[in-house]
Every structure is written in structure tokens, then in C-alpha cells.
Amino acid sequence: MHNSLLFCQPILYTHPIHCRLQCRASASVTVSVPRRETDPKKRVVITGMGLASVFGNDVDKFYDRLLEGKSGIGLIDRFETSNFPTRIGGQIKDFSSEGYIDSKNDMKLDDCWKYCLVGGKKALENAGLGVGTAEHKKINKSRAGVLVGSGMGGVDTLFKGINTLIDSGYQELSPNLIPYMATNIGSALLGIDIGFLGPTYSISTACATSNYCFHAAANHIKKGTVDVMLAGGTEACIVPAGLTGFVACRALSQRNDDPATASRPWDKERDGFVMGEGSGVLVMESLEHAMKRDAPIIAEYLGGAINCDAYHITDPRADGLGVSNCIKQGLENAGVAPEEVNYINAHATSTLMGDLAEINALKKVFKNTSEIKINGTKSMIGHCLGAAGGMEAIATIKAITTGWLHPTINQFNIDPIVELDTVPNKKQEHEVNVAISNSFGFGGHNAVVVFAPFEA
């Protein structure tokens, strides 16, 4: 009788939905109860967002276009593609850095770093910390850092440098070749421009880069070494070497006759991903620091996790084991039970194996998926590689703040194995309780981040 007795123990959470009782056995077996961080010095909040995208440099307009279900994919016209089997991409056109990069640097910087500087500075502005403002001057710069990564870095700079070497000899190489092609230079340039003296570096884990940066930036804050971090990703690899490199991997869609429908996650007729480009940057702060300066708190970063498939250089594990473990670890780190998650911004690249591996992983973690909605931002903007997680984090946070999920477009004939609501073709109203955003990269790099509405 004694061992079969049950009693109820309250769970301490910050969100109203968590104010409930959970019963557990009083015997020797103890049920693990997830607990969220309560220390304001260790709670991490999002106070600003900035980006550069195929839909422009304004976060609200970017999300409006996503909600409309508009595709940003079209024919590439930046260089000659007529001999390539893939001629489409999410190419940014008419990009403007006015007000964020001086004209001299704008002429010589690789687009990758332009996107980084614009996205980062706009995020600071959004957080009320714009360069030159009184709030920016008040920041303890030694406790503020930058962690914006890139999967490929200044690939166009490298490509042009090689051509110059072949055509004209080493004497004609730019002295900026080495610094402007290195993957760390985006964070460095941003740090120089805004004067942040804290940890400033880059992480490069292919398409998982941005989420790795969020995870690391949050850890700096939680350890108490910084108050503010600019974190995210940037990428500009729609150049001949970048495009044809992925063509050689047989990873890209060849639906050149209908670019708008080329990126179709989970659809049975998907034939590969579509390259995109841009940047996505968040301002992450300790709750204590944000409250002291009366910052506009947008959402809360609850936690995350990173791991590796240790399986194959390009292919994911079909059973999704590495991914499912990463999600479980991320939820545990965030103090979240799987039952609390009701929205997932999926990696969803539109590749044959990748999409199903992710679905298999989700089914391992979430036993009841009836309340969960998932969507694929890449269906409209393409796969922005190292910047993908940054832009998708912004989409995830906008879903939290607006109560609307953008659709996954091009859902014509969904693979029957999916069995989840992919928000097909039309936006849906949905109150997000807890959201996760997934990113996975070549080399088996997995990264999951967890966001939720902010509750004081």
C-alpha cells in the first residue's frame, strides 16, 4: 500500500500554463521534473533583432512576406548560369547598406560581411542600443561581445582572389584577401564598429552555425562574464564557386522552370534545397541587465544543445538519433518538458533524406504531436546555410510575439510519413507556448535552441 501511494508536488515555472500539479510516485523511482532558470542574472532574454534578407532588411516586413506565403526564390542574375544544372536561388537584389556601412568599405567588403554589419547594427537599434545613442554609451563595453558565425565566410572574395592570381599574378592580389575571406571577420568588423570589447569571435559549423552561436552566447551570459551579446549568422555564397560546389554534391533543386515552387520541404516531389543568403542577428542579454535599462524584452531564450551525429560528412542518420538526442538535451537544458512544446521551426531543407530524418527525430521526442505545428521557413527564402538559424530564430520569435505562424509553401503532396501539421500553404493563428528551432549541418553538426514568451 505504502509504495503505491501517490502524492502531488507543485512544479515551479514562470509561465502561467505551468502552474499545475504533477503527480509522481513516492517510491524509490523519482520522476525528473524540468525546472527553468529563475536567477535574473542567468536568464537570457532577446531584446533586439536584425537581418538582411531576400525580402529586405526590415524584420517586420520580412515576417509579413513570410505570412503572405510569398516566395523569394528566382533566377540568379548575379553571374552567368546558363551552363549550370541549377540556375535559381534566394538571391538578395538591390541590397542597401546606407547608414550602416561607409561608402569606402561598402565598395570593398564581401557581401557576407555587409549582411553581417547591417543585420547586427539593426539588431542593436531594435534593442535601443544603436551606435551613438545614450544607451549605447552606457554599456560596459568590456562586458559586451559579438558572436556572428558563417559557414563559408568570404567565399566571393576568395573566388575573385584566385581568378586574379591566375589571370594577373600574385602582385595584383588585394592585401584584404586573407582577412576578408576568413570566417571570423564579420564578428571582428562588427565589434570594431560598435566598440564591444568582450568575447568576439566566430563559430563555423556549416548550416548549424547560427544556433551554435546562440548557444555559446547564452552560455557566456549565464556564466556571468558578459551582460550583452550580439549573436547569429551571415552568409553570401550565391557565387559561381558556391553554387557549383553544391551542384557537385547533388544537393540542389533543378526546378529552374518554376523557381517559386522549387523549395518544397516534406513534399513527395522535392528534389533538393535552394540556396539563399543573408544574415540574422539577435541581441541577447541577461534579464537583470535588460531590466536595469528598461529594455524592450521581446522573448526569452530558455536554452539549447549541440551535438554530433558522428555518422557521415554530408548525410544525416536516417533514424534521426543524433537529432533526437540533441532536442532532448536542449529541452532539458531549457527546463522544458516535451509536452510543453507546441511549435517547431524545422530545419526542413527540402532534401530527400534530411527532411525525413528530422521527422523521425521529432517522433522519437514528441510522443503526442497532435498539438504541435511545424513549418519550414526555407520554403520561401531558401537555405541560407550559416545564416539560416539566425533568420529562422527571428521567424520563430515573430511567431511568438504575433501569434501567427507563417505557412510552409509548396505543400502539394506531403510525404505520408510526416503526420504533423506543417502549416501547409496558408498562415495559421497559433498561441506559442514553447518553440524550438532546429539547425543541422554537414559534418553531422546538430543544434537546437528553445524560445518562449517572456514572463516576468
In a domain, 275, yes or no: yes
Say what percent of the chain tops pLDDT 70. Answer: 93
pLDDT tens digits along 256-303 = 999 999 999 999 999 999 999 999 999 999 999 999 999 999 999 999
Q: Is residue 4 part of a domain?
A: no
Residue-wise pLDDT for 405-434, tens only, equals 999 999 999 999 999 999 999 999 999 999
* Cell 561608402 sits on residue: 103
Q: Which domain holds residue 61?
A: 44-452
CATH number of the domain where residue 365 is located: 3.40.47.10
Whether the per-residue pLDDT at 13 is higher than 60: the answer is no
How distant is the alpha carbon of residue 62 from its chain centre?
A: 14
17 found inside a domain: no
Specify if 36 maps to a domain: no
Average pLDDT over residues 379-396: 98
Q: Closest Cα partner for 422 from 324, 350, 352?
A: 350
Q: Euclidean distance between the first and final Cα of the chain, in Å?
A: 42
pLDDT bin (cut points 50, 70, 90) of residue 3 is very low
Query: Does the residue 24 lie in any domain?
Result: no
Say if 433 falls within a structural domain. Answer: yes
Q: Give the pLDDT confidence score for residue 410 in this predicted structure.
A: 98
The reply to whether 15 falls in a domain is no
Active site residues: 207, 347, 383
Q: Is the pLDDT of residue 334 over 80?
A: yes
Q: For the chain, what is the domain count?
A: 1
Read off the pLDDT of residues 169-209 as tens digits, 9 standing for 90 and up. Answer: 999 999 999 999 999 999 999 999 999 999 999 999 999 99
- Range scoring the smallest mean pLDDT among 74-83, 149-158, 309-318: 309-318
Residue 280 lies in a domain: yes
What's the pTM value of the predicted model, to 2 decimals? 0.92
Residue 15 has pLDDT above 90, yes or no: no
Q: What is the pLDDT of residue 33?
A: 58
- Cβ neighbors of 114 (< 8 A, separation 6 or more) are 52, 95, 97, 101, 106, 236
